[in-house]
Amino acid sequence: MQTPKPSPASFAKETYFGITALRFINHAGVARYGRHRISPESGVEHPSEAAAQGKDANYLFEELTHRLATGLIRFQIAVQIANERDIVDDATVHWPEERPLIPLGTVALNARAADNELQQRHIIFDSSARRHPDFTDTTLPRRPSICATRCRAFHENTRRGRTRAVC
């Protein structure tokens, strides 16, 4: 059993871990599986448990609005590469932290969408194995069962219509 993850101080001060391993193919045709990792340039920060319990339910969204008003939020995007014997088709299996991280780039957020609430009703995370013509060098593992389940759940959520904005 894992210890519960502590509440973040901010969406901008948390690391995000992809659970689905994707196959990446380099220019030489060598394929390796990896999971995305998105890390804040400003570092990770978690308040104490007592401080987190005293926060309003929307504190992360309110803090994000204030933070964006003062400047950019930057995240480093990387891929943790699996070893040959790592299990890549079961998202519940954790890989050792010492697996190499390959930097992919940086993303900078400068504002919330002007029509944020409307956009949140249309945005959907689709983890299915559809290929986009511009991204033909990644594919999902052979048995992405959790991806199919999540995809169906997200599509059903969208079909029913969301009752409130996510962010």
Contact yes or no for 152/127 (Cβ under 8 A): no
Interval 22-34 mean pLDDT = 88
Q: Dump strand ranges (E) for the chain.
A: 16-17, 22-25, 31-40, 73-81, 101-109, 138-139
Per-residue pLDDT tens digits for 45-95: 999 888 888 899 889 999 999 999 999 999 999 999 999 999 998 888 999
Lowest mean pLDDT among 3-17, 33-47, 74-88: 3-17
Per-residue pLDDT tens digits for 112-126: 888 877 877 766 655
Distance between CA atoms of residues 16 and 38, nearest Å: 5
> What's the pLDDT score for residue 166?
41
- 30 versus 127: the higher-pLDDT residue is 30
Q: Which two tokens stand for residue 95?
A: 């890989």
- 148 versus 135: the higher-pLDDT residue is 148
Q: Dump strand ranges (E) for 41-166.
A: 73-81, 101-109, 138-139
Tell me whether residue 165 is in a domain: no
> What's the pLDDT score for residue 106?
97
φ/ψ (deg, to 5) at 121: -80, -15
> What's the pLDDT score for residue 139?
53
Enumerate residues 6+ apart whose C-beta is below 8 A from 39: 15, 16, 75, 76, 78
Tell me whether residue 3 is in a domain: no
How many distinct structural domains can be found in the chain?
Answer: 1
CATH of residue 101's domain is 2.40.180.10
- 159 versus 47: the higher-pLDDT residue is 47
Whether 128 has a pLDDT exceeding 70, the answer reads no
- 50 versus 151: the higher-pLDDT residue is 50
Distance between CA atoms of residues 165 and 167, nearest Å: 6
Tell me whether residue 111 is in a domain: yes
Place of tokens 């059903």: 156
Range of the domain at 57: 11-160
Contact yes or no for 20/146 (Cβ under 8 A): yes
> What's the pLDDT score for residue 118?
80
Distance between CA atoms of residues 49 and 51, nearest Å: 6
> What's the pLDDT score for residue 133?
45
Q: Which two tokens stand for residue 152?
A: 């169906």
Tell me whether residue 1 is in a domain: no
Tell me whether residue 147 is in a domain: yes
What is the model's pTM? Answer: 0.73
